[in-house]
Amino acid sequence: MISVQNLYHSYTKDQQYAVKDISFDVQKGEIFGFLGPSGAGKSTTQGILTGLLPLQKGKVVVAGYDLEKVDNKRFNKIGVSFEQSNVYGKLTARENLQFYAKLFDGPTRDPDELLKLVGLSGKEKDKAGTFSKGMKHRLTFARSMINNPELWFLDEPTTGLDPAIAANIKDIIKEQTSRGVTSFLTTHNMFIAEELCDRVAFIIDGEIKLIDTPKNLKLRYGKKLVEIEYIKEGKVEKEVLKTIDEADKKRIAEITRQYQISTMHTKEATLEEIFIQVTGRGLV
Amino acid sequence: MKLWSSYLKEMTIAGRGFYFYIEIFIALVMLIVLLVVVNENPVSKEEEIVYYDMTPFMFKVMTNKEISDGQLRMGNEKSFTLKPGDFKVINDKSGEKEHYTFDEEKVIDVKTLETLDAKTGDLIKRAYVADNREDMIRLAHQEKSRGAVIRMKEGEFAYQYYLQGYETDRLVNLLYLMHNDKSAILQTQMNRQDVRELETHKTLNARENVIPLFITFAGSLMGFFIVMAYIFLDKGEGVIRAFAVTPSSVGVYLLSKTGVILTTVLISSTLITLPVMGFKPNYPLFYLFLIITTFAFAELGLLVASFYDAFEKAFGALYLVMVILMVPAFSYIIPGFDPVFLRFFPTYPVLQGFKDILLNANDMSYVLSYSLVFLGGGLLLFWGAQRRLSRTLCSG
């Protein structure tokens, strides 16, 4: 669905590249996570893929359209959910979606159905300018589905949303994926990436450091840990032990034999920990 | 279809904003001012301070004749407060100076004589009749009006004028000639002159004459300014980015904005023109010229907007263009000021074009040729704006 080969981009049109020599493919029906801290090159890459930034160097094919040839018809297959809400404040929620629906050539979704899907039922006639930040974000998210996109660009889809609504958004993304929609997810939130993505790419300083499935990354870079809380001489003690280390294995057996266990959890390395391990940088 | 729905969306947004109503409101205020305050044919009134140095009987004989001819009438008495002051009066021929000093304030009541136009009966001159020479000089100095002493000399009226000093030589000479006792000679000379008048040109009255100014600036200045404001509002809201990821083109987006400007200008111009001009102008040509010129100036606004990512950064260019667009108004208001370079300013032909249309002039070739120029220019600007904005619309 997306093919990127040797992509470069410089805002200053010189050798200072915001994105340099990146290549990757996104298969139909997968959720591809593009992960990295602020300024890593995520938004630049997404900007080029969505046509908001010009293609300077490299070969990019999106939804079957070569970006070297300008063809706006490709947007009939594409949906873009922006990180910053961008809706017409003077139009109602319904009017916003109705207007965008008319800009596409193919069949579009019912605005009211989409508003219901993102939890804005009952707000159809309210002007978007009166909405809270979260509501505007949901309206922006709903708008990105108006044209039944085959390829969906999601930029920080759950940022700033309360947990219940974020969970709802994640469910919608999963549901769309089950329909065969391909998603390109840009985020610095490793938890959502871990939960949703089939594959992830770590990008830092404009370069992709690795691409793999979260499961493989954990197998390759993760260390299985167990966190045990136990009571010793009336006091609560805590130890974190590796399940693959022989000495730690013996220690786990010893603790469970000798002491009263309060809690015991297995603890996997998170994507964030793996990211730090791979890139040597945090995600902020 | 996309253009129509974009236009409807833009009109909905404009209808819920205030820019749209500003122009309609200005048009209504302008209309009220034109209908209530501006006279169709204002007459410039002349004022002079006169002292009749003659017996009351002679004064009566002199004025009664003109009153009976219908050229003069007695007005109401008026009270003036003469302030203390110090000034000199110079004799035009001898150069001799008379020094006047007044230490006391003085209140005088004067008679008023009103001279009427022989053809229309409109008031053209008002003379305040002082009781003595000194009051006349003092009042003429204070009111910055022309003063005159009229007296009998060898059975003829003799006039002595007191001017302010800044009058032209031509006026001074005219005053010398006006009461020449050899007027019979003048009459003979006048009879020998063969004067022919050119065919009377159609002219707009004072009220109608303001309309081309309003329409030009509603279409050009406001069109230019408001379309920029709309673009920067959209940039601020970020909605352009959302528009950019739809199959709709930048051209559709720009034309929908232009459509809102055209609608606003058509409404505001009609609001002003129809009540004042009635059905006198050539309306098909009026709307054609209005649409084409507004389109051209709106596209200029779009092109200028394409160079900036925020309104505040565009202020310098905005101000410069608006001043350039306004300058031809001076030539329009002051017909004597018509330097050739002004004709190259884009609003100059627009003003003249609208004037011709409102006059329903016989020859519309000027309007039609400039319609073509503005159409060509507008399309060129649209092409440039589209190219530039396609690359820069999503920045900032």
Q: Closest residue of B to A105, CA-based? A: B247
Alpha-carbon gap: A52 to the closest alpha carbon of chain B (Å): 6
Q: Closest residue of B to A81, CA-based? A: B242
Residue B252 has pLDDT above 70, yes or no: yes
Stronger pLDDT, A283 or B21, i.e. the higher one: B21
Alpha-carbon gap: B22 to the closest alpha carbon of chain A (Å): 17
- Which residue in B17, B242, B248 is closest to A82 by CB distance? B242
**Whether B374 contacts B354, CB under 8 Å:** no
**By the CB < 8 Å criterion, does B238 face chain A?**
yes
- Which residue in B5, B13, B16 is closest to A102 by CB distance? B5
At B153-169, the pLDDT tens digits run 777 778 888 988 888 78
Per-residue pLDDT band for A227 (boundaries 50, 70, 90) equals confident
**By the CB < 8 Å criterion, does B18 face chain A?**
no
CB pair distance less than 8 Å for A50 and B248: no
Q: Closest residue of A to B248, CA-based? A: A103
Per-residue pLDDT band for B186 (boundaries 50, 70, 90) equals low
**By the CB < 8 Å criterion, does B83 face chain A?**
no
Q: Which two tokens stand for residue A245?
A: 């280390």
* Mean pLDDT rounded to a whole number for chain A: 89
Average pLDDT value for residue range B324-352? 86
Residue B395 has pLDDT above 60, yes or no: no
Residue B146 has pLDDT above 50, yes or no: yes
Percentage of residues of chain B with pLDDT beyond 70: 92
Average pLDDT value for residue range A233-253? 87
At B190-240, the pLDDT tens digits run 677 776 656 555 677 778 888 999 889 887 888 888 888 888 888 888 888
State the complex-level ipTM: 0.82
At A164-200, the pLDDT tens digits run 888 999 999 999 999 999 999 998 888 888 889 999 9
CB pair distance less than 8 Å for B242 and A80: yes
Per-residue pLDDT band for B293 (boundaries 50, 70, 90) equals very high
The pLDDT score that the predictor gives to residue B396 is: 44
Cβ-Cβ contacts under 8 Å, A72 against chain B: 246-249
CB pair distance less than 8 Å for B245 and A91: no
**By the CB < 8 Å criterion, does B233 face chain A?**
no
Q: Of A179-188, B329-338, B386-395, which gets the smallest average pLDDT?
A: B386-395
